[in-house]
Structure 1
């Protein structure tokens, strides 16, 4: 079992098991024979939630544990390490969200050379049967598995008939406009700074989680102390200023305004940094694993002629963010847990 370090873990109870192609942590006897959802589930968005809801429904009907089988790292990152996927949720966040949804365990299958070499038949035998003892499998209609993607939905259905486990294939989920909800579509929204549309597709506000680090502490001297987070280079969120909610490691939630980018006024050559000015807060957050949820894009990055001009704009940003956040409401029960609980 892996203990999560972020506050998401305090809100949910889920067992995380890490497995390699040849073995790994042993699935407890009480979790074998479960109903298993299979997928990457990056973002655990509304399309994923359709697969997951069916899994939870069947698990409840059959009196079986609800299990998620996912893969770490993302397969696309394994096959193209020079261009890793911009993850909407890392392994910790994803597992915690799955716990909030009601799952009993997430099995994180190591996607490495050994695993990628397994044939489709070996995947069925070693992972679904030997390791999980799956009684039922739920996945999308486009699921492929095994070396060179040789396993397809038809292969999975035939294996289920042969070995005695059920198979449910879920059609792609479409939004109110009839467009398919996908992780790549959400990333495209974030690249444009459209966190509102991204939230509509996710079913909750887009959230970034990381450990708070020490910065240059310039904001503190200007009266705007910030909690700084370094993020993966591939983070595709548009640089700019956002109205946000900040969750500290103890579960407390605060409104705030955040800057994501390279700080052109004071440090134009620096790497991208997420800096959050937390409203009505005083305390030490250094080295805590915290989360920032994005509610609205306020403006792009600007280079100001002076620090005084920057401070004037920061006060305007604060006022606008406070106004935006004063009227927000949860998009879903999941969104309420992630961005409203603890207030």
Structure 2
């Protein structure tokens, strides 16, 4: 069943960062503390009218799939309504929200973000009791590169042939972040982005195992029994050929096959080959660190991209004639090495995509230090209002490295050249400002 919840847009955006959404201040008048108020499709307009009429903050309508909720739902009477309203008893997990609509627009709102199309289970108890038998793929799946997609494609073939659900088991955080944090790599994707990409590749559900030292101490047999057999009812398991698991990485594909013989599943290891280059998340990170975004795209099967909310900057770009949309390089996920790139900026609220010249770094020409940023100048556009908008910045090719210029005039001249070079890379004709 799908139910609906009117929410303050800023609170929902914050929830995507924290991983859960609790009752808003406005919503507390609708139900006792700790409940999230939701409405049926024919009731949400009533909620908006009766409880949010005086609200000036932007509102969104969240479309919630109750099958994905981690908290229970019960229908309760609401004064003034002739039918009960469903309430969620506990925090709303964002992966249960399959759509969000902008209520500032007429006609019921426009979809503003398409979230993961697959559920994310973060604990053994989250896995649906009626999951049934499954095919399983296991790995970090960071970046969901072509090697990962190859593994998923093989598992999808098996799942379709045997009528099984396909589940991806991944780890959050990365095991290295727990076992050797000083050597932990910067992730290419968040768990939510990973789930979205795995869903695009053909996965039906994602089990994001909360990796800690206790799980690190499990033997290969304990991992198999607790995760593959008891939780996921695995009938087939597909992994990369170099897959290792269990305490001190003592299990491998052969261990998995042997365990499956007595537990009712078959196991298969797939080589992550990309011609002379083995596809790997490490290879993608190496490409990004050197600015080789084209090489990263070849391994990923798509251009590398970062997401974030546009923040107000120092407006220096606008003063120089090149207004930019600035996204902090938060360090949560990897970014390309400092430099200037050709690429695209996509608004996640409307889906619009624009060609752009993109700068990554701290802008060393000007005095003072600041946080690293991803700054996107949309070609020929100075009319876009993007503050507070979540965007995706896609990198197509590197134009040059980051340089400290001796004068502002030299910088501006180079920026003009960067824009023209970006046009050539992106095959965008010259044009006037909008």
Please give the TM-score of this superposition, normalised by the length of structure 2.
0.69
| 1:142-291 equivalence runs, <5 A | 142-175=242-275, 178-233=276-331, 235=334, 237-250=336-349, 251-267=351-367, 269-281=369-381, 282-291=383-392
Rg (Cα) greater in structure? 2
| Residues 42 and 136 (structure 1), Cα distance of their counterparts in 2 relative to 1, 3 Å cut | same
Which stretch shows the higher mean deviation, 178-187 or 45-54?
Answer: 178-187
- 1-side partners of 2:256 and 2:198: how far apart? 24
| 1:1-343 equivalence runs, <5 A | 1=68, 2-3=93-94, 10=114, 13-19=117-123, 23-27=124-128, 29=130, 31-175=131-275, 178-233=276-331, 235=334, 237-250=336-349, 251-267=351-367, 269-281=369-381, 282-326=383-427
Task: Give the drift of 1:210.
Answer: 2.1
Which stretch shows the higher mean deviation, 315-324 or 211-220?
Answer: 211-220
C-alpha RMSD of the superposition: 2.3
Task: Give the drift of 1:81.
Answer: 2.2
**Aligned residues, how many?**
321
1:8/1:93 contact within 8 Å kept: no
Please give the TM-score of this superposition, normalised by the length of structure 1.
0.86
1:44/1:94 contact within 8 Å kept: yes
SS at match of 2:277: coil
2:285/2:334 contact within 8 Å kept: no
1:41/1:70 contact within 8 Å kept: yes
- 2-side partners of 1:86 and 1:8: how far apart? 28
| Residues 231 and 28 (structure 1), Cα distance of their counterparts in 2 relative to 1, 3 Å cut | farther
SS at match of 2:273: coil
- 2-side partners of 1:9 and 1:102: how far apart? 20
Please list the CA deviations of residues 291-327 of structure 1 after superposition, one character each: whole Å capped at 9, or x if unmatched. Answer: 1111110011111223232222212211111221117
Please list the CA deviations of residues 102-121 of structure 1 after superposition, one character each: whole Å capped at 9, or x if unmatched. Answer: 22111111111222122212
Higher relative CO (CA 8 A, sep ≥ 6), structure 1 or 2? 1
- 2-side partners of 1:303 and 1:82: how far apart? 31
Which stretch shows the higher mean deviation, 234-243 or 156-165?
Answer: 234-243
Structure 1 unaligned blocks of 5 or more:
328-343
1:186/1:201 contact within 8 Å kept: yes
- 1-side partners of 2:219 and 2:181: how far apart? 22
| Residues 90 and 56 (structure 1), Cα distance of their counterparts in 2 relative to 1, 3 Å cut | same
| Residues 235 and 137 (structure 1), Cα distance of their counterparts in 2 relative to 1, 3 Å cut | same
1:259/1:276 contact within 8 Å kept: yes
